[in-house]
Amino acid sequence: MSLTDFLTTVVRVLEESGVPYMLTGSLAAAYYAMPRATQDLDVVVDAPLARIDQAVDRLLESGLYVSREAAHAAYRTRGQFNAVDAERGWKVDLIIRKDRSFSLEEFSRRSSATVLGVEVSLTRIEDLILAKLEWSRLGESELQRRDVVQLLEAPWASLDRSYLERWVEELGLRAEWTEVLGQVS
């Protein structure tokens, strides 16, 4: 199973289960800027627990390992759980949409795109930048900051700068934002 096959399986399962989703993370960054190798998918989901359970059933039927208990715990805490193709090493992190203003707006802005030949629901570039800034703050990840710099270098003129500035302030990301802006060519 290739990454394309894995993505196809995950998207099919979510759509057949009626689970609205949004591809984010490294694969979304590769869509907008420079691709980098990844063994995992990051997907934000927003559905009632019954739909999440349907998706878990279908993921299991597709031959992936997933823990229903972890899915339920993630649902309760607005955290994440994953499904793994143990044979080939592919993993999808299924992230339950947070219940906050930014996450609601981010999810409502998702759009359709073709990634690896698969029609997906994709995060917008501005929201991906903001999410990666948050991830970099939480984990002090140089890789996340480097992704943001690459995202900013590619389409800077077409980014919604006022949207970015608004959420940088509201999410308390000024230090991270200033740091990456200083690295943009």
The pLDDT assigned to 167 comes to 98
Predicted confidence (pLDDT) per residue in 35-64, tens digit? 666 678 999 999 999 999 999 999 999 999
Predicted confidence (pLDDT) per residue in 139-182, tens digit? 756 777 788 888 888 765 588 989 999 999 999 999 999 999 99
Q: Are 5 and 50 in contact (CB under 8 A)?
A: no
Between CA 33 and CA 102 the distance in angstroms is: 23
Between CA 78 and CA 96 the distance in angstroms is: 5
Q: What is the mean pLDDT of residues 6-28?
A: 96
- CATH architecture of residue range(s) 3-123: 2-Layer Sandwich (3.30)
Reported pTM:
0.91
Domain-wise residue ranges, the chain: 3-123, 127-181
The pLDDT assigned to 140 comes to 58
Instruction: Identify which of 38, 141, 177 has the alpha carbon closest to the alpha carbon of residue 24.
Output: 38
